[in-house]
Structure 1
Amino acid sequence: MVPCYNEEDVIAELIRRCRGSASDVAGDNYEIVLVDDGSADGTWQAISAETERGSNIVGIRLSRNFGHQVALTAGLATATGELVLVIDADLQDPPELLSPMIEVLKRDGADVVYGQRKTRAGEGWFKTKSASIFYRLLKRASSFPIPVDAGDFRLMTSRVAQLVAEMPERDRFIRGMVASVGFKQVAFMYDRDQRFSGASKYPLSKMVRFAIDALLSYSSTLLRLLSASAALLLVTIIAVSVYSIYSSLYLEMVPGWTSLMISHLVVSFFQLASLSIIGEYIGRIYFSTKNRPLFIVDQIKRSS
């Protein structure tokens, strides 16, 4: 199952490699589900051409760009196989790993085999290091274990795929949602390749938004930090107040504006930061109550 966004140059090679990997383990009993997430290039035309040219291909076109995680959900909701391999279109995660991942799943009696990256070819120091820090922070903050150094590349049974697809939350973080269902989940170590073609569809702004979604969806740590910060601020205010009273009574110091302004700025910053975090949570609740469709399918094409 492959979410695609502006990947017209990759589609043919992607299908060739996925077809070779799937046919090795399942003969002709497989399907390749490609979800076009409102691409602005010729991605849908490339998918449509492949459905007409070959077999075992399902193309899903969403009505607009709903985002990578929602496109994943649309694919999971459509997939009908007993096992579902989630893979990105850029071919950084090799489709050829399907067979050894199935072996691990059967050997360990697992419901999920998630790809855990040993190396990340073609990715800079900043992206690699920031991703490593983020996943470790998320693991500590979450109430259940979320694998570190793992993306969406994973093999799962149909029951896990359906459970995740049916989860109602709008701000979706698939790797966290898969982890939350439980069952036995095991790691599969692998080396991540460079992109086959094109540039990453996840610029820094999207990465930051993605990290915020993950933290707010799977942890109340930020709210707890607000409480801890408020307690620390209260202690500081008491200490400053005691010192100010003592100074005015015994030290005969001329009161200055510096400490007053610093205190005012600190309190103001804390208030604004608190309102921002609370606003994020309230905004998510507000949009959830609208109960709009998570995604809208424009067209589905299947190989004849």
Structure 2
Amino acid sequence: MDLMKKLSIIVPCFNEEDTIPIFFKTVDEVLHTISDINAEYWFIDDGSSDNTIEEIHKLNVENTEKVHFVSFSRNFGKEAALYAGLQSATGDYIVVMDVDLQDPPELLPKMYAYLKDGSYDCVGTRRTSREGEPIIRSFFANQFYKLINSISSTNIVNGARDYRMMTRQMVDAILSMTEYNRFSKGIFSWVGFKTKFIEYHNIERVAGNTSWSFWKLFKYSIDGIMDFSEIPLSIASWTGVLSFVSAILGLLFIVVRSIVIPGSSVSGWASLVCIILLIGGLELLCLGIIGKYIGKIYLQSKNRPIYIVREKK
């Protein structure tokens, strides 16, 4: 007879008071169909401003042995919540899920079956469609995956979700990466291990509204590119080289023209001003790229905690 295994479910929450009870009931019903696991829940309250922590408290009181939580002192972001959950989880297998039920719980038995027989170290999920999302968001999401996979040695599967089940060995490898600037999709891929992806169609939120605006997603994508690629630095360097070569060629043209056509005057002041502004803009762009990397180094060197706990049970 197989020994009982422990499954830890990590659930980052930010202003999700409406979805928490629905999530717990739905997932628990699915887990009851898996006979050889004991489950523990780790709800991570990421500094919510609504009644999220009160809803988590209720679940904790009603299910003391099963439901646990970590409450942050303020909002530190989803990446910090994921890291806190991975640190707190004690299971043989660990799964990360969104509380809005856009990650279908009915896939859990299938994910567990793949890990149980030892064929894989991780079972991830990816959306094959983005129906229900704004068209502009879907377009930029697809372009992001194309871009990052073309400039980074770490492959990130298009449509991959944070929703995945992992072995303890893989989670320990992820926790060994203590970097301050975290991009979990990249980290999951970078650590390696044998991974299988299960595909499904996009599912709408069960309740509430998403806290991810287009601007937040855009900034998150920029961080992901800079965390897993040095190409932007190379672009800055080559832009400088191109500007230098262009300037040399321009000077040579002026000198040669002055020799061939004595007394020729230099015209086109408007064009000259535009060129100066263009070069100045390129310089500022390159400085901005370099500054972004230096800023990440600066934050890492401070060695600040990734999150601060206000309450934990």
TM-score between the two structures when normalised by the length of structure 1: 0.94
Aligned mates of 2:37, 2:60 — CA distance in 1: 15
Are 1:16 and 2:16 matched, yes or no?
A: no
Match of residue 133 from structure 1: 143
Q: Equivalent residue of 2:293, what SS?
A: helix
Report how far residue 206 of structure 1 moved: 0.9
Structure 1: 5+ residue runs without aligned partners? none
Q: Which has the higher helix share?
A: 1
Question: Aligned runs of 1:240-251 on 2, under 5 Å?
Answer: 240-251=250-261
Q: Distance in 2 between matches of 1:225 and 1:22?
A: 49
Paired residue type of 1:163 = A
Deviations 1:281-300 (A, max 9, x none): 11111111111111111112
Question: How many correspondences in the alignment?
Answer: 301
Specify the code of the residue in structure 2 equivalent to 1:31: E
Find the partner of 1:267 among 275, 279, 287: 279
Q: 1:213 Cα shift? A: 1.0
Q: Matches of 2:39 and 2:184 in 1, distance apart? A: 23
User: Which amino acid is the alignment partner of residue 173 of structure 1?
Assistant: F
The equivalent residue for 1:29 is 38
Aligned to 2:5: none
1:166-205 correspondence runs (5 A): 166-205=176-215
Match of 2:53? Answer: 44
> What TM-score do you get using the length of structure 2 for normalisation?
0.91
Amino acid at match of 1:261: V
Aligned counterpart for 1:53 among listed residues 58, 62, 65: 62
Aligned to 1:213: 223
Q: Report the CA distance between 1:105 and its aligned residue.
A: 3.5
Distance 1:282 1:17 in 2: 45
Between 115-124 and 172-181, report the one with greater CA deviation.
115-124
SS where residue 228 of structure 1 aligns?
Answer: helix
Kindly state the Cα deviation for residue 248 of structure 1 after the two structures are TM-superposed. Answer: 3.1
- Deviation, 1:30, is 0.9
Q: Distance in 1 between matches of 2:149 and 2:37?
A: 39
Which residue identity does 1:34 align to in structure 2? F
CA contact (8 A) 1:74 1:165 kept: no
- Percentage identity across paired residues of the two chains: 36
Partner residue in 2 for 1:235: 245
Alpha-carbon distance change, 163 to 108 in structure 1, aligned in 2, over 3 angstroms: closer
The Cα offsets for residues 59-80 of structure 1, whole Å up to 9 and x where unpaired, read as 2111111101110100011111
Deviation by residue 1:42-91 (Cα, 9 ceiling, x = unmatched): 00000000111235111211111110111010001111111111111111
Rounded to whole Å, the distance in 1 between the matches of 2:134 and 2:68 is 34
Once residues 104 and 285 of structure 1 are traced to their aligned partners in structure 2, the CA distance between those partners, rounded to angstroms, is: 39
Q: Report the residue type matching 2:81 in the other structure.
A: A
